[in-house]
Amino acid sequence: MGTATSEESIRVTRMTSHFVGRIEGLDLRQPLTPEQAARVRKEIAEHGVLVFPGQHLDDDQQLRVIQVFGPAKRTSFAVTKNDNDYLIDITNVDKEGRLLPYNDSTAMFMRANLQWHADGSYNELPHRVTTLNARELPDLPPPTEYADTRAAWEALPAARQRELEGLVVEHDRAWSLAKAGLKPGDLSADAERRFAHQPLVRTNAITGRKSLYIGSHASHIVGRPLEEGRALINELVAHATQPEFVYSHRWQLHDLVAWDGSLTMHRATPYDAPHGRRLRQGGATEPTPLLAA
């Protein structure tokens, strides 16, 4: 793959009617020029999810891509930690390539990712952009699914939108883990409760489009009865994950997929085949808090 020399060399193909762009003409092993970096940031704001095929990256190169979008987020889950403080393994095998037992803590973490979610939304500074690079794949890898919460917002009736504007959601790590049958101490040395207040509706500074900020970490609506708020969140997640808003990514070896968690949700899909799979994940945080907790 040749090294791109200008912003004009970037080719973008939209992969669905609403979102997801396939970007060619860049070799992410090489540092991006300022013009290329600005173009990539513009494209992720436009598409929400970007697919960069054929990117044979090492950890340092992937970390450099992450930093195009913001400060790299240090990993907090010990069960997926490797020799890089900013990247984790999304995998079904251990370091020796052996399949993980069902009750292994890393396997439990992977099952928790089957829920629709936005990465780290329980942090005051959540992930803004997450990257996932396919380092090892079986012949039939399980897809990763993405939902466009901007299109979901825009499909709501105007009266419903007015009802939702200004609502604040408490996102709680313990809540999403509990739904997966886990508690924080199962996955991390940090067993403290971790939560943050986030706006239900966000506006992208580049495009001006609004999106729903929801997912499995979203526990309840601040200031409303607990069950009423949870029912509303469940209703919105079900709305946002209808087929017309969802893209299912069929992985190819060395794909790099990057997505903006402020305007999408994503989830893993079940995988129980006896073949190894390893993807390397890392993300950039929000540069400033969304809302005071």
Could you tell me the residue ranges of all domains in the chain?
11-285
- Supply 235's token pair: 């209703």
Cα(141)–Cα(158) distance, integer angstroms: 40
pLDDT of residue 1: 38
Which one, of 288, 292, 291, 20, lies nearest residue 128 by Cα?
Answer: 288
pLDDT of residue 287: 73
pLDDT of residue 193: 75
pLDDT of residue 290: 52
Q: Is 66 left (phi over 0), alpha (psi -120 to 50) or beta?
A: alpha
Query: Mean pLDDT per segment of 10 residues, for the chain of length 293 residues?
Result: 58 93 97 96 96 97 96 77 83 87 82 93 92 96 97 98 97 90 67 86 94 97 97 98 97 98 96 89 80 37
pLDDT of residue 292: 35
Cα(1)–Cα(262) distance, integer angstroms: 31
pLDDT of residue 86: 92
- Supply 56's token pair: 């044979």
The answer for residues whose C-beta is within 8 angstroms of residue 144's C-beta and 6 or more apart is 132, 248, 249, 251, 257, 266, 267, 268, 269
pLDDT of residue 293: 28
Architecture of domain 11-285: 4-Layer Sandwich (3.60)
> What pTM, to 2 d.p., does this model score?
0.92
